[in-house]
Amino acid sequence: MREKVLAWLNENVPPKRIQHILGVEQMAIELAGHYQLDPHTAAQAGLMHDLAKYFKPQRLLELARAEGLPIDEVDIAAPHLLHADISAIVARDEFGIADPEIIQAIADHTLGRPEMGAMSCIIFLADTLEAGRGNTEELQSLRQLSYQNLHRAVWHTCDYSLQYLLSTRCLIHPRTVRTRNWAMTASFSEN
């Protein structure tokens, strides 16, 4: 299966993005092992998380509508935010992935989702924190936190992403805010 996915990626994704995808796959495997989750599940979700990353905006919107996904004004203004949900559909339809944990982790990797499971948290974190994203002090701190407490790491990674989106004057999807608030609350309830 991995070779089939890599062949598909080589035809549909630029080489630099493939390096990111492989970084996400690797970090997901490591985090899954650390949290005693199935590394094979993490590897598949990591490898397929960006299948639709380079789909054209209109195609993303059309596929989302055909699937009956909720679409709000932010999705319409920034269709690339739908690529996670559409990547899950491509994983299901193109590669026959039926494991709901893999499908959900792929769908949740960009915006997160309140109440997301541990595998979704892992793919969400690996997407932002894989080694190819840089080696700043803040990223190093977030990487360390991801091995200490998943919910706290999701919360602080959301904050990191929100700060970037605010500084670059980008649209912020309400699901990211809901994910951040859920992770913060979940983190507090663990103490």
In the block, tokens 């949900």 appear at 85
Task: Say what percent of the chain tops pLDDT 90.
Answer: 95
> What was the pLDDT predicted at 184?
95
Are 83 and 52 in contact by the 8 Å Cβ rule? The answer is: yes
pLDDT single digits (tens) 97-150: 999 999 999 999 999 999 999 999 999 999 999 999 999 999 999 999 999 999
Strands (E), the chain: none
pLDDT single digits (tens) 8-46: 999 999 999 999 999 999 999 999 999 999 999 999 999
Which run of H or E residues covers position 7? helix 2-12
* Alpha carbons 133 and 174: distance in angstroms, whole number: 24
Which run of H or E residues covers position 21? helix 15-34
> What was the pLDDT predicted at 1?
87
Q: What's the whole-model pTM score?
A: 0.95
pLDDT reading at 174 higher than 70: yes
> What was the pLDDT predicted at 191?
59
pLDDT reading at 162 higher than 90: yes
Are 109 and 124 in contact by the 8 Å Cβ rule? The answer is: yes
Spatial CB neighbours of 36, under 8 Å, sequence gap ≥ 6: none
Domains of the chain: 2-134 (1.10.3210.10)
